[in-house]
Chain A
Amino acid sequence: MDAAQALVDGAAGVAPMILYLLAILFAAFSGVPGLFVKNHGARIAATLMVASALLGISAAAGVLLGGPVASLQIHGTPLVSWGRLDFDPIAAFFVVPVLLLSAMASVYGIGYWGEHQEGARALRFFLGLLAAFLALLVGAAHAFVFLLAWEGMALMAFILVMTEDREPGTRRAAWIYLASTHTGTLLLIGGFALMMMANGSFAFSALPPGFAASGRGTAMFVLFLLGFGFKAGMLPFHFWLPPAHAAAPSHVSSVMSGILIKMGILGFIRLVSWVSDPPVWWGGTILVLGAISGIMGVALALGQHDLKRLLAYHSIENIGIILLGLGLGLIGKSTGHGSLQVLGFAGALLHVWNHSLFKGLLFLAAGSVAHATGTRDLERMGGLGRLMPKTAAAFLVGAWAICGLPPLNGFVSEWLIYLGAFRGLGLSRWAFSLITLGALSVIGALALACFAKAFGVVFQGEPRSDGAAQAHESSSAMLVPMGVLALACAAIGLAPIVISTPLNRVVSTLAAEGQGLPSLGSLAELGWLSAMAVPLLVLGLILWKWAVPSPRLKELPTWGCGYIAPTPRMQYTASSFADGLVQGMNWVLWTKVQSGRVRGFFPFPRRFESHLPDPVLDRVADPGLRGTAFLLSGLRFLQAGHMSIYLMYVLLTLLTLLVWMVV
């Protein structure tokens, strides 16, 4: 950027902006030293990423606690376009999980991906670049900068998913991801073009009043909804997400699930901040899509046998919860109900943080399990709680939080959305509140069932394979990041009052012009949540004391049932545990089951296999694309193979365009 002249508006905002830019630089270069040194590359990268996180989070803390907002103008030249970076409350709020989780993933990488394992250098280098692009994206205040960072992020993630490119499944997952992300970008370009027509500039600013309700405003909303929805993994555009999350190395999955898909939510939040008079149906559409994503996400998660695919479907579920809050807040904004607006937006925003913390934690723990057992298949695990107690504890904290149980952080954000929905019941648009309440409770119950299955099958019972029996606890480089994330989950859950100032600051930027909003503290008694946590913790402690067996008891295999020769095969499997619920929802899930019926007294051996295909990828997108390819094969005659003929096509196009311009 030699030619670009940098200007910082307002001397007071200089410090956070410099810290933010330094954080981006540190992250971008974190993998570079590792390219040249023989050993310790991972440690250097992790140190730089942690430094980047400290810089970025301190800058964000300044802005979120009421400090001044900084803006950086990049002046245009014929070859470089104009650009702007704003380190405003929205950027500060999103940069915290971005840098924290990237740093934790980088530290985890020291233990997870050995120094001399294939692709280690590239993995670190591109992970650093991914973090840098993500951090740049949150501050982008100009469509070009935004799209540049968006594409950078998408490409880095594609390269990272491709890390184990010897597996055909990985290659397929990465290509599906690349095609989806580019479809999303194409839609966004259209959206930004319409925004530019309304504003006269590609820089982000409030849209003129009345635009949202116009035809162009509607087109812009639909394009943004689809474009950001693709990235966020909103149903029915979620299909790239489970294969990509499952195929990537676990710490990359945790970054992708924890923060990359949240960039879709960032887009929605930015959109909300530009529009002062959104029509009610905007919020309603987002809310209904959120309800569908949430319920379908968790329902599909129940039927999975692959631990990381299961977690990936839970990401879709949690995006659904965030969208429910966002939709509720948007309806509040359209109808002018400040309390609905504050509670909905605050719940959605807090869930963005929370999900990145506990889902990051869960993916790291799942990575430890996969690392120790050499498989991601739930049916080959079991009994790992005794062999890897710390990983089990970390997974339990994450599972507890993701189910929205008090006193952890997942509860707080869902609580805010519940509160908003209850307040909305008394208003004219009560139907949306009812949908929110119904969806949230169904999601909560199913998530609990799903994690009971996941935790029970992985960590309890008896090992179901040799790999699981020979598992070992992970190294401290992998355990420390999990510990940090678990502590963060607990901190937000136990003392939610600390995040009320940052949330108020971000929510106030989403207010319409001249609109005064009630503060979050006056709507939700966050202090009481801390007080309620104390008896819960005491109760938990008592139960723990009671449950720990006395040393006099004899240890026997789980599910032994007093048989003479119990085997691990007599345990509940992951499929059998979830079967009741999956059967109940088979009218939407369509599980594929292959089994032979057992008849008679001395039956022959039978096999049972169940498989839950993705409803969009395997049933719509795949056959649809095959059909399109077949139809389009009729146009193959155009590819004659002669260069002259191709050039003639160019000439004909040029002529047609010229004549079209003239006539």
Chain B
Amino acid sequence: MYHDILITLTVLTNFTLVATSRIHKSIQVAAFQGVLLGLLPLTLGLGFQIHILLMAMAAVMVKGWFIPFLLRRALLKVHIQREVHPYIGYTVSLMLCALGTGMSIVLAHNLPLKPGGPFALFVPAALATLFTGFLLLVSRRKAITQVVGYLVLENGIYLFGLMLIQDMPILVETGVLLDLFVGIFVMGIVINHISVAFDSMDTRQLAELKD
């Protein structure tokens, strides 16, 4: 019951993410999505298990606070507010996102998966979130929005992994670690290096590195 609501909200946040042009807001929405996904393991009816509780806490902390905190700090340094002139405009993005979500439902319906259980919405939602993440990565120019894209992409993978939480908890926990990795690695290297080397946060500048 509760997990269906959480998943529906996650898919709705996807649409908000692709439609917003203000970077501050997209960070906020991504953090909200992280909190939703972090709470999800608690609603699966797995009983009160200490490692699931710890994992949910870790996921909420990392996805909902730590990485958004890093992103906001980076935002303060570079004085940009908006994503101007993305490669793909907002209306088209929204339509593509809807298309992707629809396709995810069709795909998930046809994939050879085990039916039943509390996971009916998991696969389509996971695929839809994955596509949204990719859409953000492909269509946006600013490095910081791309990091948000990575984060959303990772949320999709995490959602997929949650289906395995009972059999392979270690795999899901490693997924949370991957989040930390994305946060620190991408923030540290991509943003820092672009702004140091090119005095800008525009990833188009990276094209100069090709040989």
Contact = CB atoms under 8 A, between A and B. Distances in A.
B107 A644 contact: no
B134 A647 contact: yes
Contacts of A645: 138
A661 interface: yes
Given A78-B171, A651-B138, A643 B210 contact: no
Nearest to B171: A78
Interface in A626-663: 639-645, 647-648, 650-651, 654, 658-659, 661-662
B202 to A, nearest CB: 11
> Looking at chain B's contact residues, is the secondary structure mostly helix, strand, loop, or mixed?
helix
Interface in B102-155: 107, 110-112, 127, 130-131, 134, 137-141, 146
B141 to A, nearest CB: 8
Contacts, number: 46
A654 B134 CA distance: 10
Contacts of B170: 78
Contacts of A643: 146, 203, 206
A639 B206 CA distance: 12
Contacts of A78: 168, 170-171
B210 A644 contact: no
A662 B110 contact: yes
A640 B138 contact: no
Contacts of B107: 658-659, 662
A644 B87 contact: yes
Contacts of B130: 654
Nearest to A650: B134
Contacts of B146: 643
Contacts of A658: 107, 111, 127
Contact of B207 (A642, A659, A662): A642
Contact of A641 (B110, B111, B141, B208): B208
Interface in A600-644: 639-644
B209 interface: yes
B10 to A, nearest CB: 19
Contact of B138 (A639, A641, A644, A661): A644
Contact of A642 (B110, B111, B127, B206): B206
A647 B208 CA distance: 17
Given A78-B168, A662-B111, A641 B207 contact: yes
Given A78-B168, A647-B138, A662-B107, A640 B206 contact: no
A653 to B, nearest CB: 11
A640 B171 CA distance: 35
A561 B172 CA distance: 86
A642 B137 CA distance: 11
A648 B138 contact: yes
Contact of B204 (A642, A659, A662): A642
Interface string A397-433: 0000000000000000000000000000000000000
Contacts of B204: 642
B206 A641 contact: yes
Nearest to B143: A643
Given A78-B170, A658-B107, A662-B110, A641 B134 contact: no
A420 to B, nearest CB: 54
Contacts of A644: 87, 137-141, 203
B105 to A, nearest CB: 12
A654 B208 CA distance: 27
Nearest to B150: A647
Q: Which of B131, B137, B204, B206 has the most CB of A within 10 A?
A: B137
Interface string B194-211: 000000000110111110
A651 B170 CA distance: 27
A637 to B, nearest CB: 11
Interface centre among B138, B140, B203, B209 (most CB of A within 10 A): B138
A310 B91 CA distance: 71
Contact of B210 (A639, A647, A648, A659): A639
A654 B141 CA distance: 22
Contacts of B168: 78
A647 B139 CA distance: 10
A645 B209 CA distance: 14
B207 A651 contact: no
A641 B205 CA distance: 9
A642 B206 CA distance: 7
Contacts of A642: 203-204, 206-207
A651 B130 CA distance: 9
Given A662-B107, A662-B111, A647 B207 contact: no
Contacts of A648: 134, 138
A641 B127 CA distance: 27
Interface string A24-40: 00000000000000000
B199 to A, nearest CB: 18
A662 B134 CA distance: 21
B137 A647 contact: yes
Contacts of B131: 651
Contacts of B208: 641
B210 A640 contact: yes
Interface in A65-123: 78
A643 B138 CA distance: 8
A643 B149 CA distance: 13
A644 B83 CA distance: 15
Contacts of A647: 134, 137-138
Nearest to A78: B170
A661 B108 CA distance: 11
Contacts of A661: 111-112
Nearest to A79: B170
Contacts of B87: 644
A643 B141 CA distance: 10
A248 to B, nearest CB: 32
A453 to B, nearest CB: 48
Nearest to A658: B107
Nearest to B137: A647
A659 B131 CA distance: 14
A356 B4 CA distance: 68
A78 B173 CA distance: 13
A78 B131 CA distance: 29
Residue from the set A78, A654, A658, A661 with the largest chain B CB neighbour count within 10 Å: A658
B86 to A, nearest CB: 10
A658 B171 CA distance: 22
A640 B208 CA distance: 10
A159 B103 CA distance: 50
Contacts of B137: 644, 647
A223 B156 CA distance: 39
Nearest to A639: B210
A385 B155 CA distance: 74
16 contacts: A640-B207, A640-B210, A641-B210, A642-B206, A643-B146, A643-B203, A644-B138, A645-B138, A647-B137, A654-B130, A658-B111, A659-B107, A661-B112, A662-B107, A662-B110, A662-B111
Nearest 3 Cβ contacts at the A-B interface: A641-B210, A641-B207, A662-B110
Interface of A: 78, 639-645, 647-648, 650-651, 654, 658-659, 661-662
Given A644-B140, A651-B138, A654-B134, 9 more contacts: A640-B207, A641-B206, A642-B203, A644-B139, A644-B203, A645-B138, A658-B127, A661-B112, A662-B107
Interface of B: 87, 107, 110-112, 127, 130-131, 134, 137-141, 146, 168, 170-171, 203-204, 206-210
